[in-house]
Amino acid sequence: GIQVEQSPPDLILQEGANSTLRCNFSDSVNNLQWFHQNPWGQLINLFYIPSGTKQNGRLSATTVATERYSLLYISSSQTTDSGVYFCAVIINTGTASKLTFGTGTRLQVTL
Amino acid sequence: NAGVMQNPRHLVRRRGQEARLRCSPMKGHSHVYWYRQLPEEGLKFMVYLQKENIIDESGMPKERFSAEFPKEGPSILRIQQVVRGDSAAYFCASSPGLAGGGNEQFFGPGTRLTV
């Protein structure tokens, strides 16, 4: 099956710093989503981005489908950004619908 | 604008009992997915359903687990004779039935099962 790798696995930032999270995938995809799982376990949709670039406030994401990777940028990080960030993909077969999740990047933002 | 609803949010069962987890998709969504997250791990796909049909159950354990999405009412994930290893967070997601696959999925708050 498709492999989804995220890096780095762990990241500690001081409040105000910027960061880049990476997601590599091993096959052609027609869905790529980024999620934030907060410390209470809730899974929050950040981006639906099978290709191209999107921005939402301090967050932005870019997917280069032809090179099979996606990047999530967090600028001016805040303590509320702490949690685990997951990338998830659906392979491009026209009918497949299950998301395959990466192992996540655990982010801790300190004061 | 209600999102995906799951209940209960927390469920405690003794070994051997049954667990029933419910999921109501977002308004207008006809596709439902169930995922399981074991402690300190990522989410793993279990089953994909449309109304009255199981489309893909390749991630579902062969025994004790079943899922349904009836014509009326919520989708149900049922775990019979629970064991300690079933303790996990169970997330439901929904998507619209747009052609071509790959639709964006929206997740509920999850049900945390403790056995």
Q: Which residues of B47-73 are buried (b: 16+ CB within 10 A; e: fewer)?
A: bbbeeeeeebbebbeeeebebbbeeee
Asked if A72 contacts A86 with a C-beta cutoff of 8 angstroms, the reply is: no
User: Each residue of B39-57: pLDDT tens digit?
Assistant: 888 899 999 999 889 999 9
CB distance B107–A43 less than 8 Å?
A: yes
User: Is it the case that residue A94 has pLDDT exceeding 70?
Assistant: no
pLDDT of residue B105: 93
Out of A37-51, A59-73, A81-95, B79-93, pick the least confident: A81-95
- At residue A95, the pLDDT reads 64
Q: Which two tokens stand for residue A47?
A: 């981006």
Looking at CA atoms only, how far is residue B28 from chain A in angstroms?
18
Residue A97: its pLDDT value, please?
A: 82
- Indicate which of B50, B107, B114 best probes the interface with A, i.e. most A CBs within 10 Å of its own CB: B107
Per-block mean pLDDT, blocks of 10 residues, chain B (115 long): 90 98 94 93 93 92 96 96 97 83 87 97
B27 exposure class (CB count in 10 Å sphere: 0-12, 13-18, 19+): exposed
Interface with A, mutate which of B31, B45, B98 (most A CBs under 10 A)? B45
Average pLDDT, chain A: 94
